[in-house]
Amino acid sequence: MPAIVGAVQVISIGNSSVFNIGDVYKILPVSNAKTFSGAGSFNTGDGLQVYNNKSSTNTFDQDAIDQGNVANA
């Protein structure tokens, strides 16, 4: 079924973003990332107190290869 779209204004779009108007069959990412973070890294808020006396992050990846995006072109 066709989509009927009115006026659209795009101010900005980040890299690796997807912007779609109307019908779509498939949307696939074209980038990937791996994030390592220690205890309390993504905490947000006002007056936050985090006590991590001894914290370490294991970044060892024994297989070295994760799921890729080779076919997502």
- Is 60 exceeded by the pLDDT of residue 50? yes
Q: How confident is the model at residue 13 (pLDDT cuts 50, 70, 90)?
A: confident
Position 4 scores a pLDDT of 77
Query: What does the radius of gyration of the chain's CA atoms come to, in whole angstroms?
Result: 20
Query: What percent of the chain has pLDDT above 70?
Result: 89
